Amino acid sequence: MDVDMTGWMALDSAMKAERAQKNVSRATLRRVGEFARPHRRKLTIFVILSTIAAVLTVATPVLAGRVVDAIVEGGSVGTVVTLTVVIAVLAVLDAVIGIASRKQSAQIGEGLILDLRQAVFKHVQQMPLAFFTRTRTGALVSRLNNDVIGAQQAFTWTLSAVVSNAISLVLTLVVMLRLSWQITALALILLPVFVIPARRFGKRIAGLEREAADHNSAMTTQMTERFSAPGATLVKLFGRPATEAKEFGDRATRVRDIGIKTAMAQWVFLSALSLVSALALALVYGLGGLLALRGGLDAGRVVTLALLLTRLYGPLTGLASARVDIMAAMVSFERVFEVLDVKPFITEKPDAVTVPDGPVSLEFDNVRFAYPSADKVSLASLEEVAVLDNRGGEEVLKGVSFRVEPGQVVALVGSSGAGKSTIAVLAPRLYDVDEGAVRLGGVDVRDLTFASLRETLGMVTQDGHLFHDTIRGNLLFARPDASEEELWDALRQAHLSDLIDALPDKLDTVIGERGYRLSGGERQRLTIARLLLARPRVVILDEATAHLDSTSEAAVQEVLASALSGRTALVIAHRLSTIRNADLILVMEDGRIEERGTHEALLARHGRYAELYETQFTPKQQADTPEVA
């Protein structure tokens, strides 16, 4: 191992020491062992190969010294040739073993990454909606990328380094002490020159890297928010391009300056170590040559000691920093385990049942609900705050009871914050009620399988979320086994078939992030087509036309009339005249149902519904606004 590699190891170790300033718990080590257990066969082979490679590292300098002795002492040509051939064979063997070891390392590391990522992704998929409403997406993605890779290094690099360095160090010291204890002592005295400066430079570089990481994170956030379609629109409407560009430029300039300082600090450190190494080598040759001239040491031994010296500092530095390397890797493991330890409070019962066949009713029975506080569903590190907000517990729903009969359309109206959307997220069990029950077909949703719940209940939200995928991909998300004919049939029902057919790539057209290549009405109709393809027996519309203009709303309402036909439907509406033909209208205020009845009956009562209706619409607007059939 050359001096540059030794220097990098020392510097990297010192930087890790700055980042990992905590002890590793036994529980973490046990869990690491559980993830490593499936790879134990490859780990064993990996350790054996690393051991052989360490032996070969020491054997080559010894043989090189014997070649020099044979030449100096006038040995036979056969001896020199034989030793040279052995050195060549060992070099080939070392290369082969290196390739085999690297393959084992790659298989272990990539296998571990696969296991960790699958475990985290599967676990996160099981988390309740409250987890995602609080967690920063970038922080969560970082756990799946940076921290998983950091944990992987514990097996691919640290384990190999500890094994090979320990064996190399022992063999090298034994051979060097046998050859010359004086030169060996000199080599060990110079070791602090490699380690101590590395701590100082490592601390400085780690601080620079932290600052650069903060600036890079801020630039990434700025780019992510400004480069999305909604963000770009907002910047063009209200932003200050010159100020934004200057802010970004200042951060980028600082990152550049830090990069220059970091590069120079690393170069100065490595140059100093190269100088020290050259001086140490000169001392070995000087002292060894003096001993050789006095007859106390052979010339071959001097060469062997010089070659072994270059292989001594690397293992010493590596073992000195092994604990720091392990701690740094364990920190990454702990950050991954931290996510895995957040328990989803919405789980499927072992004896869960399916929704009964046939028409399905939707019932809320004396439901009381309060959104959980952050400390119950999230992590401070994922929200990127120092302390989680423990506020919560204020009831949003206060004893809500109603029933939607099979095939019936029930509308839910009321002021903002009355609890309408909360009812919408309780039905598909995105949250669980605190008291009372939500039932589908007479069965509590907490007793149903998740698959049965998804098959039975479909929902269209007001934002109509779509993935950055093709039209086909967005539709098949609801029903992966749908045929081509079924896809087009759903598009025809959503009044989108002509539009899609006119596109060059038709169903394979990529619609962009959140579907922004489509108009608002087209996006919403595509989400309805996805709902129709899923064929749910119960439909919830959560203000599905709230953000549409009158023309788009009319088109979407016409499609919704078809979507609701023959299905049990709960319609949450902001524009009251769109639900005049509903079988039943529920008026919510402050988490309670204040009024219930048909459109005409509620108007005749001159209560809250009549007040809302008369406030919202003029007679002309009432006549022009489309209705849910």
Q: Concatenate the DSSP letters of all residues of 430-472 into one string.
A: SS--SEEEEEETTEEGGGB-HHHHHHHEEEE-SS----SSBHH
The pLDDT assigned to 200 comes to 65
Q: What 8-state DSSP symbol labels residue 373? A: P
Q: What are phi and psi of 593, to 5 degrees?
A: -90, 110
Q: Is residue 353 part of a domain?
A: no
Interatomic CA distance for residues 494 and 483, integer angstroms: 17
CA 543, 527, 570, 364 dihedral sign is negative
The answer to the question of residue 357 being in a domain is no
Contact 586, 594 (CB under 8 A): no
The reported pLDDT for the residue numbered 153 is 67
Q: Greater confidence, 72 or 349?
A: 349
pLDDT attached to residue 155: 66
Looking at the predicted structure, is the pLDDT value of residue 21 above 60? Answer: no
629 falls within a domain: no
Provide the residue type at 374 as one letter.
A
The pLDDT > 70 percentage for the chain reads 71
- How high is the pLDDT of residue 514? 65
Residue 247 has pLDDT above 70, yes or no: yes
286 and 212 in a single domain? The answer is yes
- Position 132 scores a pLDDT of 74
pLDDT over 70 at 608, yes or no: yes
> CA 178 → CA 69, 171, 181, 298, 382, distances in Å?
16, 11, 7, 13, 56
Q: Which residues is 397 bridged to in the sheet?
A: 369
**CATH code of the domain in which 480 resides:** 3.40.50.300
Residue 613's closest CA among 569, 573, 584? 573
Residue the block writes with tokens 């359309």:
409
Residue range 355-379: mean pLDDT, rounded: 81
CA distance 582 to 595: 14
The residue among 340, 370, 392 that closes a domain is 340
- Please calculate the CA angle 141-146-147 and round it to the nearest 5 degrees: 95
How many Cα neighbours within 13 Å face the side chain of 343?
4
What CA–CA distance (Å, rounded) separates 317 from 6?
A: 7
Please give the single-letter amino acid code of residue 160: S
- 135 φ, ψ (degrees, to nearest 5): -80, 140
pLDDT value of residue 245: 79
Give a three-class secondary structure readout of 524-548: HHHHHHHHHHHCCCEEEEECCCCCC
**Average pLDDT score over residue span 152-175:** 74
Do 200 and 232 lie in one domain? The reply is yes
Instruction: Say yes or no to pLDDT of 197 above 50.
Output: yes
User: Which of 371-380, 382-391, 498-507 ranks highest by mean pLDDT?
Assistant: 498-507
Residue 210 — pLDDT band, cuts 50, 70, 90? low
- 388 and 334 both lie in a single domain: no
pLDDT reported for residue 628 = 44
Cα-trace Rg, the chain: 35
CA–CA separation, 457 and 503 (whole Å): 31
Strand partners, 587: 413, 595
Q: Which two tokens stand for residue 256?
A: 């550049």
Cα–Cα distance measured from residue 509 to residue 574, given in angstroms and rounded to the nearest whole number: 33
Is 586 in a helix, a strand, or coil? strand
Q: Is residue 354, in this structure, part of any structural domain at all? A: no
With cut-offs at 50, 70 and 90, classify the pLDDT of residue 623.
very low
Do 92 and 199 belong to one domain?
yes
**Residue 369: φ, ψ to 5°:** -155, 140
pLDDT band at 360; cut points 50, 70, 90:
confident
Q: What angle do CA 163, 105, 24 make, to 5 degrees?
A: 60
> What average pLDDT score do residues 609-629 get?
59
Answer yes or no: are the C-beta atoms of 487 and 533 closer than 8 Å: yes
Q: What is the pLDDT of residues 320-330, one digit of tens each?
A: 666 656 666 77
Q: Facing residues of 400 across strands?
A: 367
What distances in angstroms separate CA 519 from CA 516, 525, 552, 553, 562, one per listed residue?
7, 10, 9, 12, 21
Q: What is the pLDDT of residue 541?
A: 83
Span 571-599, mean pLDDT?
A: 82
CATH of the domain at 289: 1.20.1560.10
Residue 625: pLDDT over 50: no
Give the sheet arrangement for strand 443-444, strand by strand.
395-404, 362-370, 435-440, 443-444
Q: What percent of the chain lies above the pLDDT cut of 90? A: 1
pLDDT beyond 80 at 550: no
- Separation between Cα atoms, residue 321 and residue 292, nearest integer Å: 36
Mean pLDDT for 521-549 is: 77
pLDDT of residue 203: 65
Tell me the mean pLDDT in the region 309-319.
70
Whole domain around residue 110: which residue ranges? 3-340
State whether 461 and 322 are in the same domain.
Answer: no
What CA–CA distance (Å, rounded) separates 384 from 362? 39
Report the number of distinct structural domains present in the chain: 2
Q: Are 594 and 386 in contact (CB under 8 A)?
A: no
**Is 606 in the same domain as 487?**
yes
pLDDT of residue 434: 86
The answer, yes or no, to whether residue 510 has pLDDT greater than 70, is: yes
Predicted local confidence at residue 620, as pLDDT? 45
pLDDT over 50 (residue 444): yes
Beta strands (DSSP E) in 499-629 are 538-542, 568-572, 584-589, 592-597
pTM of the shown model: 0.63
Query: 346 in a domain, yes or no?
Result: no
Residue 459 is predicted with a pLDDT of 82
Q: Is residue 510 part of a domain?
A: yes
- Tell whether 509 and 615 lie within a shared domain: yes
Strands 409-414, 568-572: parallel, antiparallel or unpaired by DSSP? parallel
Which tokens is 376 given?
């119950």
Per-residue pLDDT band for 201 (boundaries 50, 70, 90) equals: low
Q: Do 85 and 229 share a domain, yes or no?
A: yes
Q: Is residue 355 in some structural domain?
A: no
Least Cα distance to 603 among 404, 583, 588, 595 occurs for: 595
pLDDT of residue 622: 46
User: What tokens appear for 603 in the block?
Assistant: 């108007």
Same domain? 208 vs 330: yes
335 plus 415 within the same structural domain: no
340, 372, 407 - which closes a domain: 340
Task: Supply the pLDDT for residue 527.
Answer: 82
The answer to whether residues 578 and 545 touch, using CB atoms and an 8 Å cutoff, is: yes
Give residue 626's pLDDT: 44
Q: Are residues 366 and 322 in the same domain?
A: no
The bridge status of strand 538-542 relative to strand 457-460 is parallel
| Contact residues for 524 (Cβ-Cβ < 8 A; gap 6+) | 460, 464, 544, 545, 548, 552, 556
Whether 348 is in a domain gets the answer: no
Residues 200 and 94 in one domain: yes
Is the pLDDT at 629 greater than 60? The verdict is no
